[in-house]
Structure 1
Amino acid sequence: MSELLHIDGLRAWYGAAQVLHGVQLAIREGEAVALAGRNGSGRSTLAKAIMGLVRCEGDMRFRGVPLVGLRAFRIARLGIGYVPETRDVFPTLSVRENLALGEKKGARFTLDDAYGLFPSLLERATVKAGALSGGEQQMLALARTLMGDPALIVIDEPGEGLAPRVIGQVAQALLALRSRGVAMLLIEERLTIARVLDARVAVMGHGAVQFDGPLTELARRDDVVRDWLAVG
């Protein structure tokens, strides 16, 4: 698999406060990578940096195209989709209208694909997004991103606040997407969905990647779990 996203020496700030301190990470075509770490480790900031939503410096390229300094809409047009933790659906628009906003002419993924991945959205197609459950809103946010035909999806806490059954549905939908060649970067605290996807794990701490490898290796690294993941 060829390299899709390349990050080297990435630094990012909120105002005068530096949050990322030289992040190094690579994601290949069709690969799933889970970003783990404690709260405040820099995971969400990295997602926002990829999407051009925070000030950053360093080398960050998508299919060879430099991303640093690009505006978010241009980054999205290159083929990167973003599902923030807040989901950000349009509450006064129906499910179908939300999906239509994300539609891209000539995309591999159609409205039928979105409904096939998330059948409950078809059942609720005329319902306003603000009336959906948290799980349905997460599905809608994912489906709307899919309509933009991304090669890479960045997803911040896809299972946050969802019942285990719904998390399972989201995981199976992401597995189906991966089988169609979509790469993904998941920010996930408990690695529940990462296990379903057999994702590689990058552990962040102090604004940098402290471990990068398969889940099986992480399970053997008591030092990494103790120093960068354990709480209390």
Structure 2
Amino acid sequence: MSAQLRIEDLRAWYGAAQVLHGVNLCIDEGEAVALAGRNGSGRSTLAKAIMGLVRCAGDMRYRDVRIVGLRPHRIARLGIGYVPETRDVFPALTVRENLVLGERKGTRFTLDDAYRLFPVLEERASVKAGALSGGEQQMLALARTLAGDPSLVVIDEPGEGLAPQVLTQVAACLATLRERGVAMLLIEERLTIARMLDARVAVMGHGAIQFDGPFASVAEHGHVMREWLAVGDSGVSS
């Protein structure tokens, strides 16, 4: 299977400060990959680099199209969706207005799809997004991204601050998307959703990938857990 996203020797900077130091990572069609690591390891910077939001160098190709140096809107039009940790819904617009704003002509994911995946959004369709709970805003941000018809979704901390019941609902939605052939890169500290999806795990440290393998194999590599993961919060049973 050819890689949908291929990253080779990727470096990235904030001003003069280099954060990524030669990242190598591949995501295949329809694959779920969880990006783990401690705070400051470079995970969110990698997500921003994929979306063209930070200065970077190296080679990064999406379906054989080189995306290093492209503007974010061009990357999105190629089929990459992004749900940042801050969610970034439009608080003064209603749920429905947020969803319609994200719609792309000919999308596979309609407004009805969003309501089927997240029934609470239909119930609150006329409510302003700023009045939603954190979990509802996460659902809205994900649904709005899907309205743009991505084939790959980059999601930064999808379970952060969510109640267990909502977290399970978000994980079920992501599982449905995976069944539909949508690939995903999940940035997770605790790997809770990654465990539910049995995702492949890539572990970052010092701005590079230090481990890449099946979820079940992470606990077998004690040095990875000791050196690159917060063991108590990793969600991986040893």
Normalised to the residue count of structure 2, the TM-score between the two structures is 0.96
Q: Which amino acid aligns with 2:22?
A: G
Whether 1:125 aligns to 2:131 is: no
Structure 1 residue 96 and structure 2 residue 96: aligned?
Answer: yes
CA spacing shift, 1:191–1:231, aligned 2, 3 Å:
closer
Which residue in the other structure is 2:45 paired with? 45
Q: Name the residue aligned to 2:235.
A: none
Structure 1 unpaired stretches of 5+: none
CA distance in structure 2 between the partners assigned to 1:144 and 1:173 by the alignment: 13
Partner of 2:200: 200
Please tell me whether the aligned partners of residues 203 and 210 of structure 2 are also in contact (alpha carbons under 8 angstroms).
yes
Partner residue, 1:149: 149
* CA distance in structure 2 between the partners assigned to 1:127 and 1:195 by the alignment: 33
d(CA) in 2 for partners of 1:195, 1:224: 17
The letter of the residue matching 1:214 is P
Structure 1 match to 2:236: none
Structure 1 SS opposite 2:70:
coil
Map 1:4-153; keep pairs closer than 5 Å: 4-153=4-153
The residue number in structure 2 matching 1:182 is: 182
Q: Give the match's secondary structure for 1:13.
A: strand
SS of equivalent to 2:45: helix
Quote the Cα distance in structure 2 between the aligned partners of 1:98 and 1:173. Answer: 19
The separation in 2 between residues aligned to 1:112 and 1:231, in whole angstroms, is 41
Deviations 1:2-46 (A, max 9, x none): 310000000000000000000000000000000000000000000
* SS of corresponding position for 2:56: strand
Taking only the aligned residue pairs, the percentage that are identical comes to 80
Q: How many residues align?
A: 232
CA-CA distance at 1:99 after TM superposition:
0.2
Q: Secondary structure at the match of 1:5?
A: strand
What RMSD over aligned residues (CA atoms) do the two structures have, in Å?
0.9
Residues 74-120 of structure 1: CA distance to partner in whole angstroms, max 9, x if unpaired?
Answer: 00000000000000000000000000011011111111111110000
TM-score by length of 1: 0.99
The answer to whether residue 216 in structure 2 is matched with residue 212 in structure 1 is no
Query: Deviation of residue 231 (structure 1)?
Result: 6.1
The 2-side partners of 1:2 and 1:64 are apart by: 10
Secondary structure of the 2:114 match is helix
CA distance, structure 2, for counterparts of residue 143 and residue 163 of structure 1: 19
* Letter matched to residue 82 of structure 1: Y
Letter in 2 for 1:139: M
Q: How far, CA to CA, are the matches of 2:224 and 2:122 in structure 1?
A: 43
Q: Is the 8 A contact 2:35 2:43 kept in 1?
A: yes
Q: Is the contact made by 2:225 and 2:231 (CA closer than 8 Å) also made in structure 1?
A: no
